[in-house]
Amino acid sequence: MKNRAQVFCLLWIAVIPLGVVLLDLFLSIVEQNNDSVSNNFDISLINQVIYLSVWNAIISSIWGICNLIKISKPQAYQFLGSRETFTLITTLNIFVFLVYATNFIVAPDTIPGFKSWYQILKSVLEHFVTPPLVVLLYFMTVEKRYSSRQYAKRGGWNAMIIPGAYIVFIMIRAAFLYSFSEDPFTPFPYAIADPWKVPLWLSAGAILGALFANYGIATFLNCMSNRIHYYRYLKPCQKVKSKKAL
């Protein structure tokens, strides 16, 4: 990271997403009221980890912290500092932004987390501010090309890892809750994907749609990254070579 804008974006990603999750976790316990879903630590913690956006916030902050360390120790955390991992992080942020923005427009009354000032702050910073900053940093740090065709065949599938792990977690949790609990606490945070409540074809379609949406976003990001790399690095070099030839 060489300029202040990049360092600012990286600091934001490292601190803010995880910070607002911890703020919500803490205040939902301390400021107990009739409108609060969480009334103890266990329920408050569960109410955080069942959402993909919280997974995204925690993973993004871990990635940001590791890359801040890489500024002074370039050899540290090679995997987390790779371009492929950054594409995965950026893809997940875009997906969370699109899902939340769509839900906010189509069915705003169904969105949790707008009952107190700290929940509103968390929702705004986590869903509307951080993802654009991640995308901005992604395109500011384009340094080399990755074949779009090869990435679509091999690399794009990596974008399904985190959403896939989240779906497995939610499915296992929901199966246990529906099987052994008389009053399960939010077994599925996204009702459209709940196979116990909606037709199986709709649930399967929503899950597969989410997975392939991440694949599509990652492939598109890599393609756009290649275009920016071309106009930033390759095209100026081509102009210089053509001038020398003349």
Q: How far is CA 21 from CA 33, 83, 120, 204, in A?
A: 19, 26, 12, 29
How many other C-beta atoms can be found within 10 angstroms of the C-beta atom of residue 126?
28
Looking up tokens 């839900």 gives 103
Instruction: Find the domain containing 170 and state its range.
Output: 4-245
Sign of the torsion angle spanned by Cα atoms 233, 229, 154, 168: positive
- Specify the pLDDT at position 246: 43
pLDDT by position in tens, the chain (length 246) = 457 888 899 999 999 999 999 998 888 888 765 544 555 777 888 888 999 999 999 999 999 998 888 877 766 666 666 888 899 999 999 999 999 888 888 877 777 767 788 888 898 999 999 999 999 999 888 766 777 888 888 888 989 999 999 999 999 999 998 888 887 778 888 888 888 888 999 999 999 999 999 999 999 998 888 888 777 655 555 444 444 444
Task: Read off the pLDDT of residues 108-132 as tens digits, 9 standing for 90 and up.
Answer: 777 776 778 888 889 899 999 999 9
Give the number of domains in the chain.
1
Task: Read off the pLDDT of residues 64-109 as tens digits, 9 standing for 90 and up.
Answer: 998 888 877 766 666 666 888 899 999 999 999 999 888 888 877 7
- Residue 157's identity, in one-letter code, is W
- Residue 151's identity, in one-letter code, is Y
Burial annotation 175-192 (CB, 10 A radius, 16+ → b, else e): eebeeeeeeeeebbbbee
Q: What are phi and psi of 31, to 5 degrees?
A: -95, 65
pTM above 0.95, yes or no: no
